[in-house]
Amino acid sequence: MSSSSAQLAESTSSHEPSGLTVAAVARRLGVAPATLRTWDRRYGLGPSDHRSGAHRRYTPADLARLEQMRRLVIAGVPLADAARQVKDQDLPVDRGTVDVGSAERRPGGGRVVAIPGGTPGSRGLARAAQTLDGVACRAIIDETIERRGVVWTWDHLLAPVLIGVGQQWQNSGRWIEVEHVLSEAVTTALSSAVRHGDTALGRPVLLAATEDEAHALPLWALAAALSERRIPARVLGARVPGSALIEAVHRTGPAAVFLWSQTADNQDHDVLAQIPQLRPAVAAVVGGPGWTEPLPDGVTFVGDLTEAVARLARAAGE
């Protein structure tokens, strides 16, 4: 049983009457009690115990349902649709990973990540990351990818929240754990969005970060976005030694190599200069704030995900 479910079991067994009050559920979910009452009245998502009046209590199953409702709403699903989805699902009581107590243990004492131009979805993701709830992060990202596609999700949900969290670290020196939880959720969601089987045809595109570069999330955004266009990609990930990159080019004969550098210290012009010289010819494309001019001849810099996908798709013959 997860610690949160244990907490809940404890609270349901040691208090009379058992279960949680509307105020306790509201605190745990981080929504107003009035919202819970509205969800109950309009959509029948109230306590499943049928006593009347103020003493009705929420069971663990009710809580699991409401947690799911909250995630869907945060991800932008209209209320009525979210309620229908939640009621259609037979949610297990203990999902093992959902931290129903997380709202009370929020790091930073309730401070929030500033996301300029943030949407309800990006604020929801930031909040889930702040509570270190990687499962909630995944749910929000997965749902957004399904509804909006990879490029929209990266540009409007993931990049703003990542930049906001990074800014928070820069300002306070804190929240590296938030960065880690978010990075895991982003990597796993994007890698799951890479479709297998569909992309077997054609020369692949190699996606790598430079030898000293630990930041690699944009590579997964690119792989997933290319996969939506059925362009095969091979993700070599973070910290790829230059010699290994060149070896990988020889072995896989890619149409293009994309090299990411997040910070100027990590750019590697020596390796980059070798790529346009390789035969058969391979397009050399770079992205990330770490690249500084002048770039070696034959190398193209791309400034965002859309431009990167377009350039790599062209190299792959689309």
Looking at the Cβ atoms of 25 and 313, the one nearer to ligand B12 is 313
Alpha-carbon gap, residue 201 to 80, rounded angstroms? 42
Q: Which of 40, 179, 211, 318 binds ligand B12 (CB under 6 A)?
A: 179
**How deeply is 222 buried, as exposed, middle or buried, from its count of CB atoms within 10 A (0-12, 13-18, 19+)?**
buried
* All residues at 6 or more sequence positions from 135 whose CB lies less than 8 Å from its CB, including other chains: 95, 97, 98, 99
Determine, following the binding rule CB under 6 A, whether residue 170 of this chain makes contact with ligand B12: yes
In whole angstroms, how close is the CB of 146 to ligand B12 at the nearest point? 20
In whole angstroms, how close is the CB of 72 to ligand B12 at the nearest point? 25
In whole angstroms, how close is the CB of 308 to ligand B12 at the nearest point? 4
In whole angstroms, how close is the CB of 114 to ligand B12 at the nearest point? 12
Determine, following the binding rule CB under 6 A, whether residue 259 of this chain makes contact with ligand B12: no
What is the H or E stretch that residue 234 is in? Answer: strand 233-237
Choose one: 56-64, 79-87, 143-151, 285-293; the region binding ligand B12 (CB under 6 A).
285-293
Q: Which of 82, 125, 162, 315 binds ligand B12 (CB under 6 A)?
A: 162
The DSSP output letter for 176 is H
**Alpha helix segments (H runs only) across 200-303:** 217-228, 242-252, 269-274
Amino acid type, 24: A
Long-range contacts of 200-204 (CB under 8 A, 24+ apart): 200/232, 201/230, 201/232, 202/231, 202/232, 202/255, 202/316, 202/317, 203/232, 203/253, 203/254, 203/255, 203/316, 203/317, 204/232, 204/233, 204/234, 204/252, 204/254, 204/255
In whole angstroms, how close is the CB of 99 to ligand B12 at the nearest point? 21
Show the binding pattern over residues 182-221: x = contacts ligand B12 (CB under 6 A), - = does not: -x---x--------------------------xxxxx--x
Q: Which of 102, 262, 267, 300 binds ligand B12 (CB under 6 A)?
A: 262
The backbone torsions φ and ψ at residue 20, rounded to the nearest 5 degrees and listed phi first, read -110, 145
Show the binding pattern over residues 84-123: x = contacts ligand B12 (CB under 6 A), - = does not: ----------------------------------------
Question: What residue ranges bind ligand B12 (CB under 6 A)?
Answer: 159, 162-163, 165-167, 169-170, 176, 179-180, 183, 187, 214-218, 221-222, 262-263, 287-289, 302-305, 308
